[in-house]
Amino acid sequence: MKKRIIIIIAGITTAAIIATIVVVVLFTGNNTPTPTLNPPTTTTPALSGSDDRPFDDTTTPTEVIPGICPETWIQATDSDGDGLPDRIEGIYRTDETIADTDGDGFKDGEEVKNGYDPTQAEGNPQLDSDNDGLNDSDECKWNTDVFNPDTDEDGFKDGEEVKNGYDPTIKSDGSGNDKIATIPPPQDPNSPLPTVTGEDIIITQDTSPESIIAYLTAADAIEQQPPTDQEVVTGIEEALESSSVKLGQVRAQIEARIQQIKAIPAPQPAKQYHTTLIALTQYLNDELGVIEQYARTDFNRTLESITNLRDGISFYYEQLQQERANLENQAISGV
């Protein structure tokens, strides 16, 4: 059985930067998921020869077009520099010598990548070559056939399946085997932050604005050290797909950061912020540890930790930011 999980998490590695990251994970198998996180770098959709599709009339139904998706366009010949390779210009009937074929102010490549027809300016129509309700750019994301309205041949158009929560690449057997599982909407986290005791940190009795500024400067310097947000995401992806080595390295870097933050003497006014910063970073590392251990053996535990990261990081980061603002205001006012 194959399940597609769409996960939206708030990515954070430093507790100073937060970004929304969309991770699409394909889990294949019953108990041992083997996910594919990104669309393949090439697709070879078979053409049906329909008159309303934007490919050259000389193309026969038996021909295939490799590399229709943007991921395959790197280093391809692009005579007019519009971001759309010459070979793809031929498919979509755009002019390979004019960067903006329809003259609407947007380059052909930009339009195709964003799901718009590069040959029609009026009305800014969507680019849906097979008229299945899923534009070509989204077909690439779902790994469906750009020129086949029913990729899995189950009697339902690709766009209809996606709209109704079904995977357009899995032929339905009537049991719901192609139903897409999604993470519930963000909510207050189920798991609390780890406890940070007084034995774990150094608190001074200094209350001066200078001590607060010095503390924040030192903490921020540590926060700039590896890993980056992207390295964390890559570690999760690789753990889900093949190996937890990268994620283990990321966790070691985060653990080193935690120890460095703990070693900073924090003035009394910074105690709460200091504690939350350490706890939040530890929270991140603990949940990554669960993913590292169970990514390919326990689907439910992995999913729970990814949900915890999404909900917990967002929730607690907001708390941390408020504590930071209060601390900065105290340093400015001198109170």
Which of 86, 85, 90 minimizes the C-alpha distance to 74? 85
Element spanning 255, H or E: helix 245-262
- The DSSP code for 70 is G
Token pair for 54: 């934007």
Please give the Cα distance from 280 to 317 (Å, whole number): 8
- In the chain, the number of structural domains is 2
- Mean pLDDT for the stretch of residues 123-135: 87
pLDDT at 125: 86
Residues 101 and 11 in one domain: no
Tell me the average pLDDT of the chain: 77
Tell me, yes or no, whether 25 and 47 share the same domain.
Answer: no
Given a contact cutoff of 8 angstroms between Cβ atoms, the answer to whether 9 and 21 are in contact is: yes
Of the spans 144-158, 160-174, 230-244, 253-267, which averages the highest pLDDT?
Answer: 253-267
Question: Domain for residue 112, yes or no?
Answer: yes
Domain presence at residue 121: yes
Residue 310 domain-assigned (yes or no)? yes
Mark whether 223 and 271 lie in a shared domain.
yes
> Per the confidence metrics, is the pTM higher than 0.75?
no
Closest CA to 52 of 131, 150, 162, 148: 131
Task: Note whether residue 212 is domain-resident.
Answer: yes
Q: To which residue do tokens 């053409």 refer?
A: 47
> Over the range 290-322, which residues count as b (16 or more CB within 10 Å of their CB) and which as e?
bbbbbbbebbeebbbbbbbbbbbbbbbbeebee
pLDDT digits (tens, 9 = 90+) for 180-223: 765 555 566 777 899 999 898 999 999 999 999 999 999 999 98
* Spatial distance between the Cα atoms of 130 and 50, rounded to a whole number of angstroms: 8
Both 52 and 23 in one domain: the answer is no
- Residue 61's contacts (CB-CB under 8 Å, 6 or more residues apart) are 46, 47, 48, 49
What is the model's pLDDT at position 21? Answer: 30
Domain assignment present for residue 179? The answer is no
Q: Give the domain extent around 200.
A: 2-37+184-333
Tell me, yes or no, whether 59 lies in a domain. yes
Who's near 65: CB < 8 A, 6+ residues apart? 44, 45, 47, 55, 59, 91, 147
Distant-in-sequence, close-in-space partners of 97: CB < 8 Å, separation ≥ 6 = 79, 80
Both 117 and 104 in one domain: the answer is yes
Same domain assignment for residues 119 and 53: yes
Q: Is residue 327 part of a domain?
A: yes
